[in-house]
Amino acid sequence: QKEVEQNSGPLSVPEGAIASLNCTYSDRGSQSFFWYRQYSGKSPELIMFIYSNGDKEDGRFTAQLNKASQYVSLLIRDSQPSDSATYLCAVNRNGQNFVFGPGTRLSVLP
């Protein structure tokens, strides 16, 4: 079992819709969770992080964490074509070892 799993996609949503990106992880000791966005040919950029169970909202983005289910998700409201990118989920256990998922490719159709 891979440590961090994501659907590779592509996930296609129409402009203005909600995009839902999912991530599961295997290490129950994981303590912090990150979502990064990566445009083709560029390095990842941090969207948001979450440490506690529940929801965390930042603008059009909402991260949801459920440690019991070992599941973290990212919702993007009012999706825009500029949101089209690969979204990487990253999980961290002890501040040192980050594990990235394979990424989900999102395509927002105008």
Partner 1 sequence: GAVVSQHPSWVICKSGTSVKIECRSLDFQATTMFWYRQFPKQSLMLMATSNEGSKATYEQGVEKDKFLINHASLTLSTLTVTSAHPEDSSFYICSGKQGISHNEQFFGPGTRLTVL
Least distance from partner 1 to the Cβ atom of residue 25, Å: 14
Q: Using the minimum distance from each CB to partner 1, give the nearer residue, 69 or 96.
A: 96
Q: How many helices (H) and strands (E) does the chain have?
A: 0, 11
Task: Find the shortest distance in angstroms from Cβ 86 to partner 1.
Answer: 8
Gyration radius of the chain's alpha carbons: 13
| CA–CA separation, 97 and 11 (whole Å) | 28
17 or 49, CB closer to partner 1? 49
Residue 46 C-beta: closest distance to partner 1, Å:
5
The residue ranges that bind partner 1 (CB under 8 A) are 31-32, 34, 36, 41-46, 49, 51, 88, 92, 95-103
Report the alpha-carbon angle 77-5-13, nearest 5.
Answer: 30
Which residue from 60, 5, 8, 7 is spatially nearest to 30, judged by alpha carbons? 5
Task: Pick between residue 35 and residue 73 the one whose CB is nearest to partner 1.
Answer: 35
